[in-house]
């Protein structure tokens, strides 16, 4: 008996191009083998999976193709749900066919989850339709890499095609491609577009006639990964490229959450979103106190309160034992969270403003306990910090922090070099307490806003226009 191997196309780059079936298979996965061009955002969809990087660079393969295929077989033979996550579509120059052959020969059950190929979506993202009734009635997708045993391309045939030509993985061969096309009859004035990092936050596009495209690429320092588009459809870019917005092309760092309304709002405004890992709550053994000895209950976060409720139920008690207590939430976010339990806070007061010398004060929170003088701190859970090895703060133009805990999660889990970069990153704080937490971490540029998505988006759009 074997598990299932899913050969999944991740799409051209932007994570929302992943299909619904691809997202479901990632969520179910025990192990994910992912390529270099896969957006790290997609790996958040596989929270329980072992993640294995098998990405390839030009002329350097971290894991040889034969070994990748063998690993897929070995993990499947352990009855695991295996995902092979590839950029674009598995069967469009993705070696998915080869992997499928090996899996079939080994008797392994597998499926193909198609992805949107960059050869089509990458052009659309740059404002170039791959076909158009007035310009191209066909298209041809050609790889820049050929096995030596397969011989060369039929350039005489390719150059005479009237449709759109799209070359994948061909930047290192661009001068040769141009020379072959011109030698075999393609006009020197034929429009060409080079699309680097198509659909990603750092997408760049240059256009030029065929005779000048090599020098243009060198001048603009365009490299791989890029699409090479040859044909009259390139002329339509001037009309069809998406209009710029204040957040177009901005790469913004936010806390990880699935789903995330903040991410959706940013994306709809043209931004690209990256996420940092959050801490996970780990329950602590708890001896319930005598609640009658207290007059006030202070709740610092809803996770702590949820853990308290679970401990009460385990002890055959419920929230009625708290009915006599004056209920204080330390922020509006906590107050709203308590409403989900049917509770209305009597007051909303930051912890720093409370008299912690009062012995009748019971504070519910996370470990480690703060200095509370006479009050009692009841730690119901502790934060288990993630690793942020893949985080590259220099890739971002700004960050948004919705809570003080999000600030703590990030700054307490990064390396010193990452911390230094984060301190230079413009950061938007949703609320005064969040702003204070960022300043305490040494962040140089902190922009405060009211704690609502609408207000922080308004703030960051104004900042981008300055």
pLDDT for position 62: 72
85-121 pLDDT per residue, tens: 999 999 999 899 999 999 999 999 999 999 999 999 9
pLDDT for position 61: 57
Q: Are 123 and 227 in contact (CB under 8 A)?
A: yes
Q: Count Cα atoms within 13 angstroms, Cβ side, for 151.
A: 3
The encoded tokens of residue 166 equal 């799209």
- Please report where in the chains the tokens 């050969």 appear, as a residue: 7
The domain limits of the chain are 4-116, 120-240, 251-279+386-465, 281-384
pLDDT for position 233: 97
pLDDT at 59 over 60: no
pLDDT at 1 over 80: no
- Could you check whether 251-279+386-465 and 281-384 share the same CATH topology? yes
pLDDT for position 57: 61
pLDDT confidence tier of residue 145, bands split at 50, 70 and 90: low
pLDDT > 90 fraction of the chain, expressed in percent and rounded: 76
pLDDT confidence tier of residue 41, bands split at 50, 70 and 90: confident
The CATH number of 4-116, from 1.20.1440.130, 3.40.50.620, 3.40.1010.10, 3.40.1160.10, is 3.40.1010.10
Cα separation, 198 vs 34, whole angstroms: 19
pLDDT at 238 over 80: yes
338-380 pLDDT per residue, tens: 999 999 999 999 988 998 888 899 999 998 776 678 899 999 9
pLDDT at 236 over 70: yes
pLDDT at 149 over 80: no
266-311 pLDDT per residue, tens: 999 999 999 998 888 889 988 999 999 999 999 999 999 999 999 9
Cα separation, 114 vs 21, whole angstroms: 9
pLDDT for position 320: 94
Query: Among all residues, which ones are annotated catalytic?
Result: 35, 56, 169
pLDDT at 58 over 70: no
Q: How far is CA 305 from the centre of its chain?
A: 30
For residue 150, count CB atoms less than 10 angstroms from its CB and return exposed for 0-12, middle for 13-18, buried for 19 or more.
Answer: exposed
pLDDT for position 157: 94
pLDDT at 143 over 60: yes
Q: What is the arithmetic mean of pLDDT over 1-21?
A: 91
DSSP code per residue over 394-415: GG-SEEEE-SHHHHHHHHTSS-
Determine the 3-state secondary structure of 460 from DSSP: helix
214-235 pLDDT per residue, tens: 999 999 999 999 999 999 999 9
Which superfamily is assigned to 120-240 in CATH? Tetrapyrrole methylase, C-terminal domain (3.30.950.10)
Q: Say which CATH topology domain 251-279+386-465 has.
A: Rossmann fold (3.40.50)
pLDDT for position 225: 92
188-218 pLDDT per residue, tens: 999 999 999 999 988 999 999 999 999 999 9
Other residues' Cβ atoms within 10 Å of the Cβ of residue 436: 17
Q: Are 193 and 206 in contact (CB under 8 A)?
A: yes
| Percent helix / strand / coil, the chain, rounded to 5 | 35, 25, 40
Q: What is the arithmetic mean of pLDDT over 137-155?
A: 78
Q: Does the domain spanning 281-384 belong to CATH 3.40.50.10090?
A: yes
């Amino acid at each position: 008996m074997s598990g299932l191997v899913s050969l999944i196309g991740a799409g051209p780059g932007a994570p929302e191009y992943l299909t619904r079936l691809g997202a479901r298979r990632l969520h179910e996965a025990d192990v994910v083998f992912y390529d270099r061009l896969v957006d790290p955002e997609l790996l958040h969809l596989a929270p329980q999976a072992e993640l294995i990087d098998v990405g390839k660079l030009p002329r350097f393969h971290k894991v040889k193709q034969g070994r990748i295929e063998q690993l897929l077989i070995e993990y499947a033979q352990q009855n695991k749900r295996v995902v092979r996550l590839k950029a674009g579509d598995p069967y469009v120059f993705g070696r998915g066919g080869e992997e499928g052959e090996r899996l079939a020969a080994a008797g392994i059950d597998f499926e193909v989850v198609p992805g949107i190929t960059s050869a089509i979506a990458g052009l659309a993202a740059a404002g170039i339709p791959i076909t158009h009734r007035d310009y191209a009635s066909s298209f041809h997708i050609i790889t820049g890499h050929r096995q030596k045993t397969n011989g060369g391309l039929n350039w005489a045939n390719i150059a005479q095609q009237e449709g759109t030509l799209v070359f994948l993985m061909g930047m290192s061969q661009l001068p040769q491609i141009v020379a072959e096309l011109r030698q075999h009859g393609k006009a020197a004035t034929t429009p060409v577009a080079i699309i680097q990092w198509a659909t990603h936050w750092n997408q760049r596009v240059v256009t030029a006639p065929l005779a000048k495209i090599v020098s243009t690429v060198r001048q603009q320092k365009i490299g791989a990964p890029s699409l090479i588009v040859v044909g009259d459809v390139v002329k339509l870019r001037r009309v069809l490229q998406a209009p710029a917005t204040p957040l177009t092309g901005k790469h913004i760092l936010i806390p990880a959450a699935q789903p995330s309304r903040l991410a959706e709002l940013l994306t709809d405004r043209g931004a690209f979103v990256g996420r940092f890992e959050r801490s996970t709550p780990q329950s602590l053994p708890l001896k319930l106190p005598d609640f009658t000895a207290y007059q006030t209950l202070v709740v610092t976060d809803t996770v702590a309160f949820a853990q308290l409720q679970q401990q009460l139920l385990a002890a055959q008690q419920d929230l009625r034992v708290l009915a006599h207590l004056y209920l204080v939430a330390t922020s509006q976010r906590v107050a709203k969270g308590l409403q989900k339990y049917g509770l209305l806070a009597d007051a909303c007061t930051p912890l720093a403003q409370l008299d912690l010398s009062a012995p009748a004060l019971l504070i519910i929170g996370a470990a480690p306990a703060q200095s509370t003088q006479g009050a009692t701190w009841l730690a119901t859970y502790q934060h288990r910090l993630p690793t942020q090895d893949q985080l590259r703060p220099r890739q971002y133009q700004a960050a948004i922090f919705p809570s003080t805990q999000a600030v703590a999660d990030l700054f307490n889990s990064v390396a010193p070099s990452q911390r230094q970069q984060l301190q230079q990153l413009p950061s938007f704080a949703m609320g005064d307490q969040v702003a204070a937490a960022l300043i305490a971490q040494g962040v140089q540029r902190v922009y405060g806003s009211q704690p609502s998505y609408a207000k922080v988006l308004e703030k960051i759009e104004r900042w981008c226009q300055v």
